[in-house]
């Protein structure tokens, strides 16, 4: 089972790197084509930057997950130490936290202190 996650992660990191590469090539190309239409490029550029930052983060997450596989700590939540359900790992093979800890840190990062939900 760990081997299948390893190949999933390797493939994913690879695919993402290819996407990142293509994206930067496309970016250069469109800059060239819209050379004098300066007004509308900043938004596109911001979006492209945001997207490539996301892709880069995901590549990093994949590589870190591969390191955890090597270290034997893969699939264990970094925050609470609980086993991350295999169902979650199949969807997000690079997940480093369980759903609860992930949603907690997502709120912390965005700075939005949502009212505590007791339903979970
Ligand atoms: Zn957790």
Q: Ligand 1 centre from 100 Cα, in Å?
A: 6
What pLDDT, on the 0 to 100 scale, is given for residue 77? 97
For residue 84, report the distance from its CA to the centre of ligand 1, in Å: 8
Q: Which residues, in sequence order, are bridge partners of residue 83?
A: 76
CB-neighbour burial class of residue 98 (10 A; exposed 0-12, middle 13-18, buried 19+) = buried
Model pLDDT, residue 120: 46
What are the pLDDT tens digits along the chain (120 aa)? 678 999 999 999 999 999 988 877 666 555 545 545 455 556 778 888 888 899 999 999 999 999 999 999 999 999 999 999 999 999 999 999 999 999 998 776 555 454 455 544
Do 74 and 65 contact (CB within 8 A), yes or no? Answer: yes
Q: Extract the tokens encoding 106.
A: 């997502």
Q: What is the pTM of this model?
A: 0.70
pLDDT at 44: 79
């Amino acid at each position: 089972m760990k081997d299948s996650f390893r190949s999933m992660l390797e493939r994913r990191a690879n695919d993402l790197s290819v996407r990142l590469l293509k994206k930067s090539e496309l970016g250069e190309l469109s800059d060239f084509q819209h050379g004098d239409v300066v007004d509308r490029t900043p938004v596109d550029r911001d979006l492209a930057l945001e997207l490539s930052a996301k892709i880069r983060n995901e590549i990093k997450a994949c590589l870190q997950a591969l390191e955890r596989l090597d270290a034997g700590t893969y699939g264990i939540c970094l925050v609470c130490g609980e086993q991350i359900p295999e169902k979650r790992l199949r969807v997000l093979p690079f997940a480093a936290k369980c759903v609860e800890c992930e949603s907690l840190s997502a709120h912390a990062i965005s700075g939005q202190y949502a009212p505590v939900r007791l339903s979970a």
